[in-house]
Amino acid sequence: MSMQAEWLNRIANFIKEYAGNYPGYSHLALAQELQSKFNLQEEVAVQLAARAEQELNTAKLGLAAIELNLTFNCNLTCDYCFVHCKSPHERMSLQTAQASVDLLLDRAIFPNVVITLIGGEPLLEFDLIQQLVPYALEQAGQRNLEITWAVTTNGTLLNKKILEFFAHHKINILISMDGGQKTHDRYRRTRSGEGTWQKIASLIPLVCQYQPWLGARMTVSPEAIDTMQEDFKAIVELGFKQLIIAPAQGASQWSRDQIEKYGLNMVKILEDYHHYKGKGVPLYIEEFEKDEHEPVGWGCRAGSTSLAVAPNGDLSPCSKLLGLTDETGKYVVGNVRTHVNMKKLQPFQNAISRMPRHCKGCTRTCAGGCYAVNFEQTGDHFTPSQENCMFWVVGQELKRMSSKIKYFR
């Protein structure tokens, strides 16, 4: 070891020891100690102390998952998309993608981590995916870690080459499919205004050859409430076996009457779901299978054990926050190429500390709602809107009813 390397090593060891002995230390106090003990210039000592604080704080970060927004560009113009400002110029570089993977693997708290490829439309960046996946698997192998892959796509760009790659690397596909042709094409159109239902429907048999257990995300807008049951059946008949059904939420709020209709139609879907299951149709909706008494913690994993990465490398608790136009709402906590601001991330690491007083006495224990929807509707990430509360009640009642139906079958 050279004298310079040995000297730097002594400084590093001193910083670790100092931080251990004085957990609540000020980085300015550390700078003074460094300046005195190692005869450093004040400016250099301050820079070292500040960098040490960043590194030590980042070391406290434990991750189980990461969402890679490969691009904010998309080939569709869905009205309810959570990415409010799409741009063909916002594309993730390979270096940024690799740095994101490194962050996840270096901070992994479980032997199996999850990487979700999302956007925009992530398949616009299939060349990047082909380069990133082997890199991530090699790096994970060196750390004795395994990766569970997922991709959320509108499905229009799927082809045999992409499906073969995904099947080979066990990348699970979730397709956005809102129901029958009329409902789906009302929102999910190309830039020229053409519907996409027919194209996706024609691809499903090919997709199922590579991924027989295929999932769909059915997003329900207020205008589609009356056809929810028919739309659910249309998706099942296409061959999808797992569904996520959720309302389209954002700045525009649902009325109480709309949420009531949504709930009543979800009851009809629940009945159809158990009817299909009774006939032996392979089908799974997680919200219908959960126990209504399952313990619920305040806040989701966003910002706690999961982070989202923007195409430029910016970090935020979740992708829906990155899609907001308001910079405060985006809640950027750093960049994969520089640092993670753990002090700024702290509220999401300890979400229970931000629970509003009126929620503490509520008889309907919930998780606090979606951070992005909360911000859009209340101006605060941790204050649930009345809309979020009502949708939570609908979900809890559906779990209760589902458990009763299973009991008597």
11 forms bridges with which residues in the sheet?
none
Structure tokens given for 293: 């008494």
pTM above 0.75, yes or no: yes
Return the closest-CA partner of residue 112 out of 132, 138, 141. Answer: 141
Distance CA 318, CA 114 (A): 14
Distance CA 22, CA 281 (A): 61
Separation between Cα atoms, residue 178 and residue 23, nearest integer Å:
51
Q: What is the spatial distance between Cα 199 and Cα 349, in angstroms, rounded to a whole number?
A: 42
CA 77 → CA 13, 80, 250, 304, 387, distances in Å?
54, 9, 16, 31, 25
Q: pLDDT tens, position by position, for the chain (409 residues)?
A: 445 556 665 776 677 677 766 656 677 888 888 888 888 888 888 887 777 666 666 666 789 999 999 999 998 888 777 675 666 678 999 999 999 999 999 999 889 999 999 999 999 999 999 999 999 999 999 999 999 999 999 999 999 999 999 999 999 999 999 999 999 999 999 989 999 999 999 999 999 999 999 999 999 999 999 999 999 999 999 999 999 999 999 888 999 999 999 999 999 999 999 999 999 999 999 999 988 777 677 788 899 889 999 999 999 999 999 989 899 999 999 999 988 988 899 899 888 888 898 888 888 888 899 999 999 999 999 999 899 999 999 999 999 999 888 867 6
Alpha-helix runs per DSSP H in 107-240: 126-142, 160-168, 181-187, 197-210, 228-238
Amino acid of residue 87? S
Length of the chain: 409
Q: Are strands 339-340 and 334-335 parallel, antiparallel or unpaired?
A: antiparallel
